[in-house]
Amino acid sequence: MATETAPQATESRLRAPEVTIVIPLLNEQATIEKLWEGIDRALAGAGIAAEVIFVDDGSTDGTMGLLEGLHERDPRVRVVSFKRNFGQHPAMHAGLSRARGEVVVTMDGDLQNAPEDMPRLLAAVESGYDVASGRRTARRDSWGRTLPSRLINGMLRRFTGVQISDFGCAFNAYRRDVVVPMLGAIGKQKFTKALVLSCGASVVEVDVDHAARADPSRYSPLRLTRLALHVLAGFWPQPIQLIGIGLGLICTASAVALGTYGVVFWIDHSNFPGPLFGGVVLLAVLGFQGFILALIGEYLGRIQRDVEGRPLYMIDRELG
């Protein structure tokens, strides 16, 4: 990527972009202006010719109005507006599929990502890596968010074979040629970074700042649980067969052990507490069955979406 002097920054707005920045938004009217100011400063300081694609994921506040104003003031700003809320990952697909830059930067719009870190991500890609993966330092989320994230990161490391520490960080830089082949899966599958890296793209981690959210996180415990199931269904081959085998072995071993204990206790005391232990075994089996049914539900949902051929999203307006 070429470097420009400050007077050339204005000219860079009119040239084909070297970098595309993709930012999904949902009800972020309070952060848009400050976010854009930070991005503008970062691009001007590095002299980077860039376009910024904001994807409004069905916001119900004044987000779209502010985006229209940004587009009118600056031709580098492009806007895609959904008819309703379709989710962060379909919104990411909408931006990535429209990117024209050789390098694509993805980031959140809630100011937890610092635009000032962007040149470091771009420099890492320029040095020869396909992906510069953001790694959040001094993460400012509650334990209710960080603990499940650690679990999901561990699962993704195990299933993809890629040893990075932060799959959940949305602040990353990609060479566009490693993203394009994965567009058929991005949006349908969560964790864009894991998808790209699972196909062999080279990666380096870059430490980035992470600020606290001004409002509560949209990732509730229920949503994080569903996300973990999504990881299992999307990145773990044939999990139902493996879980079924494990369930059979555990239940069989438990039945043998408890049956043996029951016989010995009955002989020694003439009083085997069968209902108690039978209830424990029954609850354990029901718990495992519930998990398997949840996993099957994830698969059936994917099959239904593919059979119906429903679009990932419907676009209401597009600017730029």
Could you read off the pLDDT of 194-249 as tens digits, one per residue?
Answer: 889 988 999 999 999 877 655 555 555 666 666 666 666 666 655 665 666 676 67
The H or E element containing residue 92 is helix 88-96
Both 273 and 189 in one domain: the answer is no
On whether the CB atoms of residues 227 and 190 are closer than 8 A, the answer is yes
* Domain enclosing residue 292, as ranges: 239-308
**Exposure string for 12-43, b = 16+ CB within 10 A, e = fewer:** beeeebbbbbbbbbbbbebbbeebbebbbebb
Amino acid type, 229: L
Query: For the segment 77-116, what is each residue's pLDDT rounded down to a tens digit?
Result: 999 999 999 989 999 999 999 999 999 999 999 888 899 9
Both 59 and 203 in one domain: the answer is yes
Which position has the higher pLDDT, 142 or 118?
118
Both 28 and 79 in one domain: the answer is yes
Both 96 and 40 in one domain: the answer is yes
Both 69 and 168 in one domain: the answer is yes
Strands 103-106, 19-25: pairing is parallel
Q: Cα–Cα distance between 2 and 18 in angstroms, integer? A: 8
Band the pLDDT of 159: cuts 50, 70, 90: confident
Does some domain include residue 223? no
Both 244 and 202 in one domain: the answer is no
Q: Is the pLDDT of residue 171 over 70?
A: yes
Band the pLDDT of 8: cuts 50, 70, 90: very low
Q: Cα–Cα distance between 122 and 104 in angstroms, integer? A: 9
The per-residue pLDDT for 264 is 74
Q: Is the pLDDT of residue 143 over 50?
A: yes
CATH number for the domain spanning 50: value is 3.90.550.10
Domain end, chosen from 151, 182, 216, is at: 216
Query: For the segment 254-306, what is each residue's pLDDT rounded down to a tens digit?
Result: 776 776 776 777 777 777 666 656 766 776 776 777 677 667 766 766 675 67
**217: number of Cβ within 10 Å:** 14
| Total domain count, the chain | 2
Both 161 and 243 in one domain: the answer is no
The per-residue pLDDT for 12 is 46
Domain end, chosen from 216, 248, 270, is at: 216
Which position has the higher pLDDT, 179 or 6?
179
Edge to edge, the sheet with strand 172-175 lists 203-208, 131-136, 172-175, 103-106, 19-25, 50-56, 77-82, 315-319
Q: Is the pLDDT of residue 74 over 50?
A: yes
Both 197 and 280 in one domain: the answer is no
Query: For the segment 19-42, what is each residue's pLDDT rounded down to a tens digit?
Result: 999 999 999 999 999 999 999 999
Domain end, chosen from 216, 250, 276, is at: 216
**50: number of Cβ within 10 Å:** 24
Both 161 and 286 in one domain: the answer is no
Roughly how many angstroms between the first and final C-alpha of the chain, as a whole number?
23
